[in-house]
């Protein structure tokens, strides 16, 4: 545990020093990056030890009521700590170079302070063993990420994104306060997680209320629908390496919270409706998330909606895992939870890589709109290959890593189909999961096929890409590392690396022997690896045969046949909107895409114009009217803010007296 505390101290010290020397041009980045990298390496050691089964703990005196400074790292905490520290380490290396073009206009010292504070707060969230400490860390995570999102606060859209994020995260926190209050009431007014873990079996109604509060409170941070509205606003506004952390790991703290609460509430057999609720949420988030992603032209906004989709898949895995526990089908429980954990880890790699690539595109072209890009593969070959790797991986295509987690969830659903009694009990959920995952996979292929082809292939659609080039090594190596990880992690899992997650599965399913089911999975994956190897071997033989047949023959180049056009230009290429138009039109009732069309007229038309915009339906139909209503309501309370200091002090005194009376009454 000493190494973990040392890592937190280094992060805090490095961030504070960066803030103190903010006027220096280079020192803030050196201090922020250096401390994040060193602390990340040190902190990974206890995290890996915990994942392998070693339990670490630390407790210090703390005078705050109901609080204790208690930290514990078990296998569940260690797993999330690995992805937090690992991706933060790479993001710090990437961000050092990425932030240099902001040095003349912004305070980089403040940026690195909040970057390190975000890493510390996320690490504390997944290791806190006391409710008060957890909530403080949760609030620090919200505040530090808010200041990172609003780094370019001179832009109105950035300020609006920060406001939406702050409102959304605190609405979620309100449900968490209720959840912890209910748990503490059952634990003798104690907020220690050790007391929560030893609670007697709660009444079904109370346990259900606590579970729903956790799903809403943590789901708002995770970005499950319909609590996702801050993601497509905050991710495009934040610096790209911050977007990578928020999407790759910060939203996973919401998943951690749901899993941790389940370990407190599940004693024996959880109610089946818990799993059904999570499956329903996962299906909705998965399908709608990727639908909205397909319709986007902003590259970072597309990736934000893709995160909603992937969180839906993770939630789906947890839901089917809970159903497996409820109906006493161990293989379904193991495969469901394992698929969820594998997808959490793999999504961290894939989304970190894709946001780094999006940042590289923005860094070199200064635009995010894919309709203004094109032809980047010729000028950015390394970046284009890494984006292609990330795109193939996140579509869930073998043999890359995005395939493994989804494959486990597929297997869990198929095993459900072999159990006639489970099929009747689960109300057709296995069939729904299989069909929806297939739809999600197809839409994801269309989405990232569009993203890669429009941005990187073809010819440049504007002058923005004229000076595009691969970034410097500090931004390039993190992308290369994550690209390699997307390939090697998948192969390692097929060779049996899933056994490493055995202690993790034991935390969420202490009553199930997971070893036989892991052995079954690894045997299936090994056979699958053999099939993939044979397929790749055939492709290699075909390529070699082609090379042999073409050897010694001259290859000539000619103009591509262009349907009789004598003067082709870049406007004849597909745009991001036209590529996705068939899918968007088929789902018009959901997406409600707005189109502005100026049609060509006459024999020699001089101008024609088409613009399509897909806004978030949940934001337009629900959240925006709600927020405007709240704003109008509070506008009527302006008379309370009149500038008289003595009346403000009176408000405080009256509030304290009321709280004191309530406290005495409760005693």
* Residue extents of the structural domains in the chain: 281-544, 576-613, 621-666
CA neighbours closer than 13 Å in the CB half-sphere of residue 437: 28
The DSSP secondary-structure symbol of 200 reads P
Cis check: omega of the bond before 226, within 30 degrees of 0: yes
Residue 623: alpha-carbon gap to chain centroid: 22
Which pLDDT score is estimated for 667? 58
Q: Do residues 108 and 22 make contact, with C-beta atoms less than 8 angstroms apart?
A: yes
**Which neighbouring-strand residues pair with 71?**
58, 128
Q: Do residues 573 and 373 make contact, with C-beta atoms less than 8 angstroms apart?
A: no
Which pLDDT score is estimated for 648? 80
577 contact partners, CB below 8 Å, separation of at least 6: 297, 371, 610, 611, 612
Q: What angle do CA 610, 615, 619 make, to 5 degrees?
A: 165
* Residue corresponding to tokens 């189109």: 595
CA distances from 273 to 101, 211, 227, 323, 326 (A): 51, 11, 20, 8, 9
Q: Where are the alpha helices (DSSP H) in 223-294?
A: 231-237, 240-245, 252-265, 272-294
Residues of the chain with pLDDT below 50 are none
Q: Provide φ and ψ at 381, rounded to 5°.
A: -65, -40
CA distances from 594 to 113, 584, 613 (A): 41, 11, 5
Which pLDDT score is estimated for 398? 85
Q: What is the dihedral of CA 229, 234, 235, 238, to 10 degrees?
A: 180
Which pLDDT score is estimated for 136? 94
Token readout for 288 is 């709608």
- CA atoms of 287 and 312, how far apart (whole Å): 8
Each residue's pLDDT tens digit, 511-543:
888 888 888 888 888 888 888 889 889 999 999
Question: What is the sign, positive or negative, of the torsion defined by CA atoms of 627, 628, 633, 634?
Answer: positive
Which pLDDT score is estimated for 427? 63
Which pLDDT score is estimated for 423? 53
Which pLDDT score is estimated for 340? 94
Q: Which regions of 13-77 does DSSP assign to beta strands (E)?
A: 56-60, 69-73
């Amino acid at each position: 545990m000493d190494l973990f505390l040392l890592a937190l101290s280094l992060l805090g010290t490095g961030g504070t020093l960066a803030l103190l020397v903010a006027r220096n041009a280079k020192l803030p980045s050196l201090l922020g990056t250096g401390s994040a990298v060193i602390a990340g390496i040190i902190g990974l050691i206890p995290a890996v030890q915990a994942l392998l089964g070693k339990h670490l703990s630390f407790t210090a005196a703390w005078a705050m009521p109901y609080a204790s400074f208690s930290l514990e790292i078990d296998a569940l905490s260690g797993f999330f700590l690995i992805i937090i520290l690992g991706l933060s380490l790479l993001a710090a290396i990437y961000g050092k170079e990425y932030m240099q073009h902001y040095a003349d206009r912004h305070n980089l010292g403040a940026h690195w302070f909040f970057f390190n504070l975000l890493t510390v707060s996320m690490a504390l969230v997944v290791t806190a063993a006391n409710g008060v400490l957890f909530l403080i860390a949760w609030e620090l995570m919200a505040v530090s990420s808010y200041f990172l999102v609003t780094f370019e606060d001179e832009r109105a859209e950035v300020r609006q994104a920060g406001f939406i994020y702050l409102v959304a995260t605190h609405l979620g926190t309100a449900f968490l306060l209720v959840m912890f209050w209910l748990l503490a009431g059952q634990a003798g007014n104690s907020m220690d997680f050790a007391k929560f873990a030893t609670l007697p079996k709660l009444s079904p109604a109370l346990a259900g209320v606590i579970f729903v509060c956790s799903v809403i409170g943590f789901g708002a941070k995770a970005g499950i629908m319909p609590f996702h509205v801050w993601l497509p606003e905050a991710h495009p506004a934040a610096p790209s390496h911050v977007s990578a952390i928020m999407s790759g790991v910060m939203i996973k703290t919401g998943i951690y919270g749901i899993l941790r609460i389940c370990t407190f509430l599940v004693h024996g057999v959880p109610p089946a409706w818990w799993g059904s609720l999570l499956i329903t949420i996962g299906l909705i988030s998965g399908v709608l998330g990727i639908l909205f992603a397909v319709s986007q032209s902003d590259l970072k906004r597309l990736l934000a909606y893709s995160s909603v989709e992937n969180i839906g898949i993770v939630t789906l895995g947890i839901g089917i895992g809970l159903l497996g526990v409820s109906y006493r089908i161990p293989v379904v429980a193991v495969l469901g939870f394992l698929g969820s954990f594998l997808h959490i880890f793999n999504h961290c790699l894939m989304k970190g890589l894709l946001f780094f690539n999006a940042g590289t595109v923005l860094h070199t072209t200064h635009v995010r709109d894919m309709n203004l890009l094109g032809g980047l593969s010729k000028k950015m070959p390394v970046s284009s290959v890494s984006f292609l790797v990330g795109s193939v991986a996140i579509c869930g295509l073998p043999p890359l890593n995005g395939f493994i987690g989804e494959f486990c969830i597929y297997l869990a659903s198929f095993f459900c189909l072999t159990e006639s009694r489970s099929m009747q009990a689960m109300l057709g959920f296995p069939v729904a999961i299989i069909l929806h995952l297939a739809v999600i996979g197809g839409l994801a292929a269309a989405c990232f096929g569009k993203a890669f082809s429009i941005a990187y292939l073809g010819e440049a659609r504007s002058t923005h890409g004229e000076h595009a080039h691969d970034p410097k090594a500090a931004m390039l190596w993190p992308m290369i590392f994550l690209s390699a990880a997307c390939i090697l992690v998948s192969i390692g899992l097929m060779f049996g690396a899933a056994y490493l997650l055995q202690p993790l599965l034991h935390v969420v399913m202490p009553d199930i022997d997971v070893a036989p089911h892991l052995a079954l999975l690894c045997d299936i994956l090994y056979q699958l690896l053999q099939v993939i190897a044979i397929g790749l071997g055939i492709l290699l033989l075909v390529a070699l045969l082609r090379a042999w047949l073409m050897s010694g023959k001259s290859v000539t180049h000619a103009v591509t046949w262009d349907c009789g056009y004598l003067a082709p230009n870049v406007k004849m290429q597909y745009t991001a909107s036209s590529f996705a138009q068939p899918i968007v039109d088929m789902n018009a009732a959901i997406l409600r895409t707005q189109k502005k069309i100026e049609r060509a007229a006459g024999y020699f038309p001089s101008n024609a114009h088409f613009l399509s915009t897909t806004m978030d339906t949940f934001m337009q139909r629900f959240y925006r009217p709600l927020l405007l209503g709240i704003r109008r309501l509070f506008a009527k309370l302006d008379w309370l803010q009149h500038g008289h200091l003595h009346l403000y002090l009176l408000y405080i005194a009256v509030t304290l007296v009321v709280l004191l009376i309530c406290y005495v009454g409760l005693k």
